[in-house]
Amino acid sequence: MVPKKILFCTDFSENSRTAWELAVDYANAFGEQLLILHVLDVPGYVDWAEKLREILEETQRAANERLQSMVKECSQMVKDVKTYCRTGIAAGEIVSLAQEESVDLIVVGTHGRTGVKHLVMGSVARSVLKTAHRPMMIVEGPPEKGESFERSK
C-alpha cells in the first residue's frame, strides 16, 4: 500500500519534529495530500467558564498560527496541505479525523518513555494505535537530557 493521504499529528514539541520531517518526506514521495492536526487536549470534565473559553480561544489562535507556519515550510515539497486544530481528548480526535478523512497513514511522534514515566504520562500514540485500525508510523523523538537512545527497554 502506498499512502496517498497522510495525517501528521503534532503537539509542536521538539519530539514531533522528526515525525513531521518524515511525514513531509512521505507525502512528497508518495502522497497526494498531507493533513496536519493539533489537538488542544482537554479533559472531558472541564467546566467551561467564560475565562476558560477565552484562554482556549487564544490557545487555538496561536496553534493555528503555528500550523500555518508549518504549511509554509513544507509547501515547496507537498502540493496539498490542510491543517486542523481541534479541542478534546487527543487520541480520540486523531482517530476521528483519520476516519473522517479516510487517511492511509497516521504519523505521530513520541517521547519514547518507558517504565513509570510511561505509566504516569500515558501515551497518545499508543491509544491511537489501539483504536485507529489503520497503518501508523510512530517516530521516537530525540532523547531527553541525561538519557540516550540506547536505553534498555
Buried b (16+ CB within 10 A) or exposed e, 60-76: eeebeeebeebeeebee
* 66, part of any domain: yes
Question: Could you read off the pLDDT of 96-141 as tens digits, one per residue?
Answer: 999 999 999 999 988 755 544 443 335 888 889 899 999 999 888 7
Q: How confident is the model at residue 84 (pLDDT cuts 50, 70, 90)?
A: very high
* 153, part of any domain: no
* 78, part of any domain: yes
* 29, part of any domain: yes
Q: Round the average pLDDT of the chain to a whole number and report it.
A: 82
pLDDT for res 123: 82
Q: State mean pLDDT over 74-102.
A: 93
Q: Please compute, for residue 42, the number of CA atoms within 13 A of its CA located in the half-sphere on the CB side.
A: 17
For residue 142, pLDDT beyond 50? yes
pLDDT for res 45: 56
For the entire predicted model, the pTM comes to: 0.78
CATH number for the domain including 61?
A: 3.40.50.620
Report yes or no: 35 and 97 within 8 Å, Cβ to Cβ: yes
* 63, part of any domain: yes
pLDDT for res 148: 43
Query: In this structure, which amino acid lies at residue 48?
Result: W
Q: Which domain holds residue 19?
A: 5-140
pLDDT for res 120: 36
* 145, part of any domain: no
Q: Is 152 strand, coil or helix?
A: coil
**Count of structural domains within the chain:** 1
In this predicted model, which residue has the larger pLDDT, 51 or 144? 51
* 53, part of any domain: yes
* 128, part of any domain: yes
Question: Could you read off the pLDDT of 24-50 as tens digits, one per residue?
Answer: 999 999 878 999 999 988 765 556 666
